[in-house]
Amino acid sequence: MNDYIKSMREKIGNDTLLTVGCGAFIQDKEGKLLLQRRFPDGLWGIPGGIMEIGEFFEETVKREVYEETNLEITNLKLFRIYSGSKGFATYPNGDRVYSVQIIFLATEYKGLLQKNIESSELSFISKQDLPLNINSHQEPFIMDWVKDVETPVIK
């Protein structure tokens, strides 16, 4: 948990907290998408996380991707910005959040793919082979990727 979230939780308890999340569609040369199976819930999603105060969007997504995959992503393109009712989440500990999601596309990266303690698996997966157990909060943007929605749009 980042310092901002921890500090705010000390003040507001489990009440809804507004966050900004940044994630990345990382595609290999075959067009497959890097998905991460999260520990302990076993749900699949894209790498990413919560912005720290003072960070640029690009800094957040690069930091989170590196922490979760050991990959350095470059040449980022904005995919979409997501908001709306799907942005609400309640975690098992009772914490509630409303998150705006900034999603990037990266086709250039370097490093050796390596999972961290948040992941039980990392895998490049084709559109036809997507797992059924996708994180419900990320499903809207993953489905936009599947449909080849490329134009940056605010939703």
Blockwise average pLDDT, block size 10, the chain, 155 residues? 82 96 97 94 95 95 96 95 91 93 96 92 96 93 85 56
Residue 2 has what pLDDT?
65
Beta bridge partners of 33: 27, 125
Q: What is the pTM of this model?
A: 0.90
Residue 154 has what pLDDT?
57
Residue 107 has what pLDDT?
94
Residue 149 has what pLDDT?
63
Residue 92 has what pLDDT?
86
Structure-block tokens of residue 75: 């040449």
Cα–Cα dist 79/145, whole Å: 9
CA-based nearest residue to 5, from 38, 45, 48, 51 = 51
CB 23 within 8 A of CB 103: yes
Residue 108 has what pLDDT?
96
Residue 148 has what pLDDT?
79
Residue 4 has what pLDDT?
83
The dotted CATH code for 3-154 is 3.90.79.10
